[in-house]
Every structure is written in structure tokens, then in C-alpha cells.
């Protein structure tokens, strides 16, 4: 595509529009993937493994949607270029203004399409488990963990992702000690993996009589939901399985049978609990999926740490190395310490407005791994 021509007034809205035939916009490659998946989908034995079949069909649908979106955008930009040539010939400023507005909208959509194409990791297209653990800070930290749980729920719902609670441990006085959410939707792991790390909150505490300034910490873990990761092998002999009665807030029972499941992976010491289903078998299956994702994320993190150590850039992700700080006092600010992305609209962020931070992380991460 050629460079657009509108006017000096709107020169900032013009950009050299990309070809969709190669590189990050490699649509022919996407078409080839679609053909391969359609061939596999036609195999009558595919549905012998329903989970694999569902994953394949979901991937096929996603690829078709991506191609349709790019084709639509490509056609939109082509039409705009034709209109620009007509507007230049007629020297009609009002038409130029309309075209400039349409082009700006097309470029915003192009930016979103480009962002989605950055999700090219081996598990970026998978669903995800998101775990939150209250850190140091007592009741304030447990309240902070609950605020994060609400923030991520709001963000996921704004993207039409399906959210379900796998496990939740209520706090002693307020908030939660820990929780695990299951997020289902298009490229959800690719987007939400940017949120892994330690989150710090600075505010005036609502939980002490002095209303003193309080710093609270919570750790967020992000795990892809996988059944076929070659990096992960789980031996049933390495698992200790305990069952117990599901409990709600305040300790009241929500089930009359021992349906909740606690898995302990003996080699790693990882403990996973699940109590969102009434069936013990379903809770066990979900807990194993969480365990598999946690083991995979641990292995991926180990590989990343080794690469960073070789480059001299590794930092331990403990409670002294927060990745983002949320200031509610003495001023309002959210600052990501990796990308330097920041905003003073803390309330919007806590209500789920995370996309600017996610986008800046994806662009930052591409530089880090290149």
C-alpha cells in the first residue's frame, strides 16, 4: 500500500500502511494453518479425544476470525486510499476531514491487530489460571488481594472472557488470603501473563485506628492451561491427594460431602486446592490442570531466568522486587516498574482498565527477548 496524502493539517494521521503478505502480517501462512487444521478436523477419529478436538476447533475458529479481520481492514484501507485520491483531486477540505477521522480509526484497529499478532508464544492462545496470594501487610494485604481479584475479574469480563473461581481462601477479618481464577477466552494467557509478579499498594489503612499509611503486597501467578506440554510430566505416585468439605466465607460449609480436593506434588512441594465443583472427580481434574499449568510456568520461568542470567539482567521476583505499584496516598498513581507505563487514574485501573499496561508490556517484552 502507498503512503496516504491528505493535507499538512492531517499529516500526523497519515502513515505508510503495511503489506499484509509477510512478516508479522503473514496472512498466507495463516491460510496454510487453517487448511492444515481443517484437514485434521475432517478426521473421524478426532473426537475420540474431546478435549483435544475442542482445542483444535477453537484454534481453527480463532484463525479464521483473524484472517477475516485482516481482510476487512485491508479492504478498508484500500477504499480509504481511493477516497483520498478523489479528495485531493477535488480539493474538498470537509471530505479530507472525514477521511482523516476514518484513517485514524483504521490505524487504531491496525494497532490492535498488530498487538494480537505479538502473541506468538507456544501457549499464548491457551486459557489461563490466575492465582493471587496475599503477602506481607496483614489484613491490609488480604484486602489488597481481594481488590486485585476484583480488578482481574472486571478486566476479564470487559473482554468477554469467562471467569470462574477454582479456589478461594477468605481472610481472617477482610479480603482473601489466596484465590485462583480460571480465565477462558481468545489468547487470554498471552495477554494476562503480563500481570505475573508482585503488586504493591500504598494507601492510608482503613483497618487501623490511626488511619496510618500502609504498604501491602500481593503476588500474582499466571499459568497456561495445558494438557499436552512436553515440558511437564506428572507421575501419579508423586501426588498426595486429600479431600475435605468445601467451605465458604466465615468457614460455613457449602457442601455436605468431602468434594474439595487438595493436591500436593511431592517433588516440587506445590500444593493446589480446588473446591468450585460439587463433584470430587471434577475438582480433582481441575486441580491437576492447575498443577500442570503451575509446573509448566515454573519451567518456563526457569528457562527465562537462565537467559537473563547469561545477559546479566536477572532479578529475583520476591516481595522486595514489585513489578507494579499502586499509590493511593499521598498522591494517586499506578506505575509499572518494568515498562515505565503509568497513569494517575488509579480507580479506572482497579476497575479493570489494564489494557495500556498489557500493551506496553507486550511491546517491552518483544525487545527483551529479541
| CB 150, CB 122: distance < 8 Å | no
Residue span of the structural domain in which 302 resides:
128-320
Q: Are residues 135 and 207 in the same domain?
A: yes
pLDDT exceeds 60 at position 27: yes
Please report the pLDDT score of residue 15 as a whole number.
Answer: 40
User: Is 202 a member of any domain?
Assistant: yes
Range with the poorest average pLDDT among 59-63, 88-92, 131-135, 144-148: 88-92
Asked if residue 354 is part of any domain, the answer here is: no
pLDDT in tens, 108-157: 777 777 777 788 788 898 999 999 999 988 899 999 999 999 999 999 99
315 and 220 belong to one structural domain = yes
How much is the mean pLDDT over the chain?
82
The verdict on 133 and 199 lying in the same domain is yes
Q: Report which of residues 213 and 28 the model is more confident about.
A: 213
Mean pLDDT, rounded, for 299-306: 83
Instruction: Select the more confidently predicted residue: 260 or 369.
Output: 260
Final residue in a domain of this structure, among 320, 339, 355: 320
Residues 56 and 96 in one domain: yes
Residue 358: the pLDDT is 95
Q: What is the pLDDT of residue 274?
A: 93
Residues 113 and 146 both lie in one domain: no
The single-letter DSSP state of residue 12 is G
Residues 18 and 111 in one domain: yes
pLDDT of residue 12: 38
Same domain, 134 and 172: yes
Lay out the sheet containing 197-204: strands in order across. 162-170, 176-184, 128-134, 213-224, 197-204, 324-327, 333-336, 342-343
Together in a domain, 196 and 240: yes
pLDDT per position as a tens digit, 237-278: 999 999 987 765 444 444 546 789 999 999 999 999 998 877
91 and 150 share one domain: no
104 and 166 inside one domain: no
- The whole-number average pLDDT for the span 198-207 is 94
How high is the pLDDT of residue 160?
Answer: 94
For residue 366, being part of any structural domain is answered with no
In a domain, 363, yes or no: no
- Write the CA distances from 251 to 146, 165, 169, 173, 357, integer angstroms: 17, 17, 10, 12, 37
| Its pTM surpasses 0.85 | no
- d(C-alpha 340, C-alpha 84), whole Å: 38
Structure confidence at residue 3 (pLDDT)? 39
Residue 157 shares a structural domain with residue 279: yes
pLDDT of residue 325: 97
Residue 21 has pLDDT above 50, yes or no: no
**pLDDT of amino acid 310:** 66
Pairing of strands 260-265, 324-327: unpaired
Residue 344 lies in a domain: no
Report the CATH number that the domain containing residue 135 is assigned in CATH: 3.30.70.1660
What was the pLDDT predicted at 248? 54
Instruction: Among 280, 296, 320, give the residue marking a domain's end.
Output: 320
Span 290-316, mean pLDDT?
78
User: Is 111 a member of any domain?
Assistant: yes
CATH of the domain at 16: 1.20.58.410
Q: 364 in a domain, yes or no?
A: no
**In the sheet that 260-265 helps form, which strands lie side by side, from edge to edge?**
239-244, 260-265, 270-274
Q: Is 95 domain-assigned?
A: yes
Q: What pLDDT is stored for residue 217 in this prediction? A: 94
Q: Are 334 and 346 in contact (CB under 8 A)?
A: yes
Q: Number of folded domains in the chain?
A: 2
149 with 285, same domain: the answer is yes
* Last residue of one domain, picked from the residues 82, 117, 152: 117
- Could you tell me how far CA 65 lies from the centroid of its own chain? 19
State the pLDDT at residue 313: 54
Amino acid at each position: 500500500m502507498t503512503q496516504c496524502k491528505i493535507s499538512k493539517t492531517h499529516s500526523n494521521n497519515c502513515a505508510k500502511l503495511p503489506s499484509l503478505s509477510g512478516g508479522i502480517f503473514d496472512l498466507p501462512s495463516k491460510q496454510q494453518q487453517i487448511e492444515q487444521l481443517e484437514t485434521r478436523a475432517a478426521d473421524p477419529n478426532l473426537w475420540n479425544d474431546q478435549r483435544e478436538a475442542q482445542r483444535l476447533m477453537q484454534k481453527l475458529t480463532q484463525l479464521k476470525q483473524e484472517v477475516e479481520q485482516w481482510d476487512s481492514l485491508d479492504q478498508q484501507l484500500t477504499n480509504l486510499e481511493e477516497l483520498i485520491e478523489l479528495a485531493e483531486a477535488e480539493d474538498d477540505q470537509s471530505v479530507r476531514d472525514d477521511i482523516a477521522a476514518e484513517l485514524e480509526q483504521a490505524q487504531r484497529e491496525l494497532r490492535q491487530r498488530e498487538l494480537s499478532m505479538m502473541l506468538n508464544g507456544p501457549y499464548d492462545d491457551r486459557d489461563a489460571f490466575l492465582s493471587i496470594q496475599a503477602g506481607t501487610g496483614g489484613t491490609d494485604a488480604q484486602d489488597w488481594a481481594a481488590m486485585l481479584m476484583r480488578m482481574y475479574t472486571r478486566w476479564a469480563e470487559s473482554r468477554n472472557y469467562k471467569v470462574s473461581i477454582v479456589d478461594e481462601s477468605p481472610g481472617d477479618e477482610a479480603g482473601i488470603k489466596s484465590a485462583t481464577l480460571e480465565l477462558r477466552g481468545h489468547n487470554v494467557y498471552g495477554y494476562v501473563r503480563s500481570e505475573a509478579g508482585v503488586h504493591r499498594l500504598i494507601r492510608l489503612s482503613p483497618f487501623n485506628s490511626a488511619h496510618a499509611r500502609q504498604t501491602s503486597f500481593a503476588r500474582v501467578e499466571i499459568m497456561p492451561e495445558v494438557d499436552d506440554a512436553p515440558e511437564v510430566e506428572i507421575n501419579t505416585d508423586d501426588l498426595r491427594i486429600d479431600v475435605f468439605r468445601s467451605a465458604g466465607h466465615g468457614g460455613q460449609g457449602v457442601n455436605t460431602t468431602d468434594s474439595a480436593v487438595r493436591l500436593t506434588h511431592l517433588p516440587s512441594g506445590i500444593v493446589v486446592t480446588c473446591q468450585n465443583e460439587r463433584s470430587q472427580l471434577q475438582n480433582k481434574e481441575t486441580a491437576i490442570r492447575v498443577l500442570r499449568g503451575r509446573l509448566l510456568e515454573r519451567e518456563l520461568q526457569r528457562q527465562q531466568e537462565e537467559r537473563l542470567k547469561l545477559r546479566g539482567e536477572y532479578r529475583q521476583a520476591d516481595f522486595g522486587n514489585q513489578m507494579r505499584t499502586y499509590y493511593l496516598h499521598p498522591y494517586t498513581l499506578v506505575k509499572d516498574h518494568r515498562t515505565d507505563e503509568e497513569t494517575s487514574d488509579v480507580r479506572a485501573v482497579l476497575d479493570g482498565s489494564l489494557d495500556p499496561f498489557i500493551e506496553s508490556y507486550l511491546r517491552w517484552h518483544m525487545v527483551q527477548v529479541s
